[in-house]
């Protein structure tokens, strides 16, 4: 919408509401000359309203993206800069999906993450005696979960190679249904492990 307003593709009253660029307000040359002046916001409600929020986002865009000649080219440039998130990250039972995401991002309750990423404990060791309880160890090595790991591997291996990347992110070369199968198996493993209760 801000691109349309700046390109005069909207009614004039919207263009009139848009604050000027820095180069029209400030007399000397700045690095951010082409940025739109962000209106002063005293209240959080106004700060989150369309113009202040959209202008802050607009000013973060590269000049090359902002200066696209058509709306279609502008949209293509935005999609290249901000690709669609992996739909698998929003799939599955909420509780298991949250813990799966935490493991993927390195902020889970696994001792390795607690020690080296979150700085909550001093010991990254697993209860099984392994030196580090990483995501790889949890899903593919820990002897505490051998029985449920068998189910995990039996479900994933007919569909895809089973490695830590596939377990955490799915396989981009597979169909959505096959990736759902993988994530269902991973979520069942996380729930059955009782590791994050």
Residue 73: other Cβ atoms inside 10 A: 12
d(CA 193, CA 180): 20
- 3 state DSSP class of 3: helix
Q: Provide the percentage of residues in the chain whose pLDDT is more than 90.
A: 63
Quick check: 89 pLDDT over 80?
yes
d(CA 155, CA 126): 25
d(CA 136, CA 126): 12
- pLDDT computed for residue 32 by the predictor: 62
d(CA 92, CA 183): 7
- pLDDT computed for residue 83 by the predictor: 74
Interval 37-65: pLDDT, tens? 888 888 889 888 999 999 899 888 888 88
Split at pLDDT 50, 70, 90, the class of 157 is: very high
Q: What is the mean pLDDT of the chain?
A: 90
Interval 111-120: pLDDT, tens? 999 999 999 9
């Amino acid at each position: 919408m801000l691109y349309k307003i700046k390109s005069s593709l909207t009614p004039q009253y919207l263009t009139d509401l848009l604050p000027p660029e820095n180069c029209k307000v400030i007399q000397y040359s700045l690095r951010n000359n082409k940025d739109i002046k962000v209106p002063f916001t005293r209240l959080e409600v106004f700060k989150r309203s369309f113009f202040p929020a959209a202008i802050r986002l607009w000013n973060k865009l590269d000049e090359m993206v902002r200066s696209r000649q058509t709306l279609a080219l502008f949209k293509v440039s935005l999609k290249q800069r901000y690709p669609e998130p992996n739909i698998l990250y929003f799939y599955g039972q909420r509780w298991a999906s949250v813990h799966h995401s935490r493991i993927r991002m390195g902020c889970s309750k696994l001792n390795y993450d607690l020690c080296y990423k979150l700085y909550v404990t001093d010991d990254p060791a697993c209860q099984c005696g392994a030196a580090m309880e990483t995501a790889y160890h949890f899903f593919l090595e820990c002897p505490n979960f051998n029985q449920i790991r068998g189910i995990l591997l039996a479900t994933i291996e007919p569909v895809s190679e089973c490695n830590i990347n596939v377990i955490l992110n799915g396989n981009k070369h597979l169909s959505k249904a096959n990736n759902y199968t993988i994530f269902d198996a991973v979520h069942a493993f996380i729930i059955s492990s009782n590791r994050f209760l």
